A and B are shown apart, each in its own frame.
Chain A
Amino acid sequence: MSLPRSRWLADPLCWALAALLLLTFGMPRLKPLFAALFPALDRPLYEQDSFAALLLSHLAIVALASAVATGLGIAAGVFVTRAAGREFRPLLETLVAVGQTVPPVAVLAIAVPLIGFGALPALIALTLYGLLPVLSATIAGLGSVPQGAIDAADGAGMSGTQRLLRIELPLALPVLLGGVRSSVIGSIGTATIASTVGASTLGSPIIVGLSGFNPAYVIQGALLVGLLALVTDLGLARAGRHWARWQQVD
């Protein structure tokens, strides 16, 4: 992708990404600013971890949880739309919907006594949380594939697997990617509370700031989480348009 310079400049994704990186690495330089804004605070800059390390571990937890949720969600969505798994569809949909009604904090609270503190309970909570949007988007996406295309694929002599991989999933992709996108964005937000159980994420400054009456920490964490969510959303939307280019032609 070699875009002319003006296209780069007009691209919100580039601006958001630049802002995210600048703030992540340049936050210490803003210490005087936060000191001026909050003169009552002894320590106006969160310095327990570097923001780069927090960003990386936030990303790692979200990436891992989203990868598992996406893989499981698509696999389950495919399974319940095949002849063999059709009867499990209502059961699975109910299970995931019920899972979604339990707030993420509650999942963390239940997971900690069972698994202990750290990144693992956070990963489990995020994965469970990321499942529903992917699963329902997979089912909706596969359901949106025109019956004619399925009939034609069968009539052409495709096997069930060929039809799924060559026709159904690619045609379901735009809807499916929408689900993945909302799942990942949700996980980025939920991962901030994961720092309450000891996972180190961009939520750490927020939690520490809230419990220690330090609004500067809260702002620093929230700014970065917000920018990360924005960059990810724009990036996934861009990727989605790229993978479903055929939809744009007219």
Chain B
Amino acid sequence: MIEWQAVSKSFGNVPAVKELSLTIAPGEFVVLIGASGSGKSTLLRMANRLVDPDQGRVLFKGQDTRALRAEDLRRRMGYAIQSIGLFAHWTVARNIATVPELLGWPAARIAARVDELLALFDLDPGLYRGRYPQQLSGGQQQRVGVARALAADPEVLLMDEPFGALDPVTRQALQGELARIHRASGKTIVLVTHDIDEALRLASRIVLLDRGCIVQAGPPAQLLLQPASDAVSDFIGRSDLGLKLLGLLSVADRLRAGESAPGEPILVSASLREAMSAFVVRQTDRLPVVDAQGRPVGAIGLNDLLRRRE
């Protein structure tokens, strides 16, 4: 879907990206992660030509992006940023309608799409359509920001630390919504972050960058279990590596179906990390498991967390 071919970019004398190559397949959720100055934002902004590489080229669906008009390319990709950048003089509805309006959609289609997106993000269209951005909370503003990025139904969603400025609770809620949208729509998403937990939670593939080069790229479990270098381990953090691994799996993965246990149950959709926490808090080595409707489905034991990964 997007392919960076040996791209380099310097700002003044400072190299931001060095001869980097990366290919993103349709439907992937790729998280670009690294410390500040690692070149992750520059790499992202090359995809929609907000930055043009000094050397190398970027392909979108096999086509050199420089052969496309930058405006047309950008209208085909959703773009959401940390500062959100809602237009303060436009209502929520008009903000969301930005790209459809640029594409010249008929008014009725735009209105229908706006309401559909507001509903998707749990914002009552009747209540929020006519509001101005400054009347919304930070979390609501970023929901509108992501809705605006999705408005013209782009195949690719580019996100530059979209949840960086939100409080932890709101951030988790929005991460959940984004994961749900990715599962439901199959869109290709490229997200930049410096938050390893966000990367582990969302990514189908993590690309770890350092000083303009890729240090390691792979599924979350691979980065945790087979770090390519000490630098990768340092970045991920060694002290709670085990807990991060547990965070990648859910209770369903280790469920003893049909068995039972006493005590307060845990949700089958909870992560093993949450299960670990529950074992410690409740001073037990066995927990009953229920589904979302509260029906018992089995049990899980402390030892099950140690079972070898298949």
Contacts and interface: CB of A to CB of B under 8 A. Distances in A.
A159 B85 CA distance: 17
Interface residues of A, number: 25
A157 B73 contact: yes
Contact of B88 (A159, A166, A171): A171
B228 interface: no
A155 interface: yes
A249 B99 contact: no
B132 A152 contact: no
Contacts, number: 76
A158 B88 contact: no
Interface in B123-151: 131-132, 134-135, 145, 148
Interface stretch (A28-36, A95-103, A143-151): A143-151
Given A149-B88, A249-B132, A156 B98 contact: yes
Contacts of A159: 71
A148 B98 CA distance: 15
B84 interface: yes
Contact of A156 (B84, B88, B89, B102): B102
A154 interface: yes
Nearest to A166: B87
Contacts of B86: 149, 152
12 contacts: A147-B83, A149-B86, A149-B87, A151-B83, A154-B50, A155-B81, A157-B70, A158-B71, A244-B89, A246-B90, A249-B131, A249-B135
Given A155-B79, A156-B99, 15 more contacts: A148-B81, A148-B83, A151-B81, A152-B84, A152-B86, A152-B145, A153-B98, A156-B74, A156-B79, A156-B98, A157-B71, A157-B99, A157-B102, A158-B71, A249-B135
Interface of B: 48, 50, 70-75, 79, 81, 83-90, 98-99, 102, 131-132, 134-135, 145, 148, 158
Interface of A: 146-159, 162, 166-167, 170-171, 173, 244, 246-247, 249-250
